[in-house]
Chain A
Amino acid sequence: MTLRTAGRALRPAGRAAVLAIAATAVVFTATELLPGDAGELRTAGRAAQEDVATERERLGLDRPAAVRYLDWLYGLIRGDLGHSLAGGRPVVTLFAERLPATVVLVAAALAVTALLAAAALTVTYLRGGRGGSAATGLAAVPQPVHAAVLGAVLAGLLGWLPPVSLLPPGGSPLADPRLLVLPALTLALPSAAFATVLLRGALGDVLRRPHVADARLRGLPAPLVLHRHVLPFLYVPVLQVTALLVGGLVAGTALAETLFGYPGTGQLLVSAVAVRDVPVIQAAALLPAVVLLLGMLLADLAARRTTVPGDPGPSVAAGRTV
């Protein structure tokens, strides 16, 4: 019995592990196999052909790609992410400095997302599962627009906030919470709209179930119907969507942090891309993927505990955050 339970828990874990390794392969392939490598870049135009060759040899780029991938993967497992090509500091140290700021930012954004999405979904529920085309439109608007409008209004027209969230690297973002507002809202607005779109579908599915119509017909008041007959079916979709959102938020920090000068891992990724600092790019790109997979795994495990066999539960429409 316990063996079986363990087996059932292990299968999604195994699947997540396979996907994680596959994600490393995707990231590695994208950075390594495409034309132009770090050897050329570091010597960019200034050096002769031989210098490029020497540089490549020094960086180990002359070995076959498969060998380099396995080498990198092995380092990844040991917690060694290599050294930054620009500056030569260990990638792990770079991340350790910036990760707390990003964690705080993502947590704040997630909290705002949850509040906004809950409010929007409550309205949807009270309207019987209809409406909400605004959420579809809002979710479609590119994130830079959210950033620009928020910046123009809150910092420009109203002057409530500083237009940039400059923070010394390693400094605590909690020291001046005002710096958090613009990047967190920029992240939260589209992701709340996206969550609303996804969960609206699941909510509609549940509301169309016969037992909900039956509960209304028996005269139960709306809050009781929600609490007893609707919410229990939404736990799993909410977990899945949360996993999706956290992955998306971590990815979105690249944009929000860069625009507002907030020193987190997202900004690190963008600056690394600008100078083609491959080890940093690889690590920073894996971070949201791993967060997403971990979240999905947790949602998957929780789903096994809260659903009945034979009842598929409401579905979350296919979708993704940018």
Chain B
Amino acid sequence: MTGAPRPFFPGATRPPVSVIAALVLLVCVPLGRYAAPHPPERTVAAPWALPGGRYPLGTDALGRDVLSRVLAGGTQLLTVSLLAALAAAVCGTGLGLAAGWSGDRTARTVRALCDLLLAVPALVLALVLATALPGAAAVVVASVLAGAPLTARVVATQCAQLRGSGHVHAAVERGERTPAVLLYEVLPALRRLVAADAGLRLVTALQIAAALAVLGLGPQPPDPDWALMLSENLPGAALNPWALLAPAIPLAGCAWVFAAAARTAARAPGEGA
């Protein structure tokens, strides 16, 4: 009991590396713009210059510094994805709690609504929405429409199970109101699930945002953006492959880390928000 501190979570055998990495990425990527050695939108050398000298990753089709563009290119992508994921998680969790708590009929209605929204693939939904909305808004709305039903489904199932557990009954039998029970008893017990699910929503949002940007429906050309750089530099794959790989690696890395963090959060006992 005294002396060396006991591990707080006896089940957790190793620190949640992926969760920490995900948080670090979310903080650091938006700051990358300030570390760029050259203005990312300006032509500084000949097009498709290979890595070397002042340009460690070479230049792109318009002779802009690839490293600077990569450092600056994650801000908008991550911000939009994060917003979209938050919106989807909040909507889905609210819907799921309501459905799970109120029992059969509402649950069936929510389920039908979810089935309906799941019938249209997310990318198609985003493309259709992009006809009428600006790219960022399309990403957010599509993420909510495509992701919230999944969140709602998972949360509703767990919430319905928790309804029968002792601590929730104890709260009800203390005379606590339903919103208080949901907010202070049910939601904290589901925090790992909700956190893990929010991670998955972030991955989906990132995928949608990247797809729209690649198709030219997101940020517009002079702006540095990882996904946009992919489509810009694909024709020069043979001339300077690094112009293509440099934005691909952080984009893939972010998605990979977020997915791994979500998986860890869902598994590690006691880990969560």
**Residues of A near any B CB (own CB < 8 A):** 19-20, 22-23, 26-27, 30-31, 34-36, 133, 136-145, 147-149, 151-153, 155-157, 159, 163-164, 247-248, 250-252, 254-255, 258-259, 269-270, 273-274, 276, 278, 281, 284-285, 288-289, 292-293, 318-322
Contact = CB atoms under 8 A, between A and B. Distances in A.
B119 A320 contact: no
A34 B125 CA distance: 13
Nearest to A255: B211
Interface string B51-95: 000000000000000000000000000000000000000000000
A144 B116 contact: no
B241 A136 contact: no
Contacts of A252: 123
Contacts of A140: 203, 207, 255-256, 258-259
A38 B259 CA distance: 39
B217 interface: yes
A144 B131 contact: no
Contact of A136 (B245, B251, B260): B260
Contacts of B118: 320
Interface stretch (B31-39, B146-154, B167-175, B185-193): B146-154
B123 A322 contact: yes
B120 A289 contact: yes
B119 A145 contact: no
B119 A22 contact: yes
Contact of B237 (A133, A152, A288): A152
A34 B214 contact: no
Contacts of B237: 151-152, 155-156, 163
A102 to B, nearest CB: 14
Contact of B128 (A20, A137, A285): A285
Given A26-B117, A156-B237, A320-B122, A142 B127 contact: no
A91 to B, nearest CB: 15
11 contacts: A23-B116, A23-B119, A26-B119, A27-B128, A142-B210, A149-B252, A152-B248, A284-B124, A285-B120, A288-B120, A318-B154
Give 5 nearest A-B pairs by CB, closest first: A156-B237, A34-B132, A140-B259, A251-B121, A142-B210
B127 A273 contact: yes
B254 to A, nearest CB: 9
Interface size class of B (residues with CB under 8 A): 35 or more
A133 B263 contact: yes
B48 to A, nearest CB: 11
A145 B214 CA distance: 10
B103 interface: no
Given A23-B120, A136-B259, A254-B215, A259 B234 contact: yes
Contacts of B121: 247-248, 250-251, 288-289, 292, 320-322
Nearest to B157: A318
B182 interface: no
Nearest to A15: B115
B227 A322 contact: no
Contacts of A19: 115-116, 119
Contacts of B244: 148-149, 151-152, 156
B267 to A, nearest CB: 11
B235 A163 contact: yes
Given A36-B132, A274-B216, A322-B121, A156 B238 contact: yes
A138 B204 CA distance: 13
A322 B211 contact: yes
B95 to A, nearest CB: 14
A254 B150 contact: no
A148 B124 contact: no
A144 B146 contact: no
Given A23-B116, A145-B248, A320-B150, 11 more contacts: A19-B115, A26-B116, A136-B259, A140-B207, A143-B211, A152-B245, A155-B238, A254-B127, A258-B214, A273-B215, A289-B124
Nearest to B259: A140
A318 B255 CA distance: 19
A141 B154 CA distance: 23
Nearest to B253: A141
A144 B235 contact: no
B25 interface: no
Interface in B107-142: 115-125, 127-133
B191 to A, nearest CB: 19
Interface in B189-234: 203-204, 206-208, 210-211, 213-217, 227, 230-231, 233-234
Nearest to A154: B237
A196 to B, nearest CB: 13
Contacts of A281: 127-128, 131
B130 to A, nearest CB: 6
A81 B211 CA distance: 27
Contacts of A156: 237-238, 241, 244
A82 to B, nearest CB: 15
Given A148-B230, A255-B123, A322-B122, A159 B238 contact: yes
Given A140-B256, A254-B127, A322 B133 contact: no
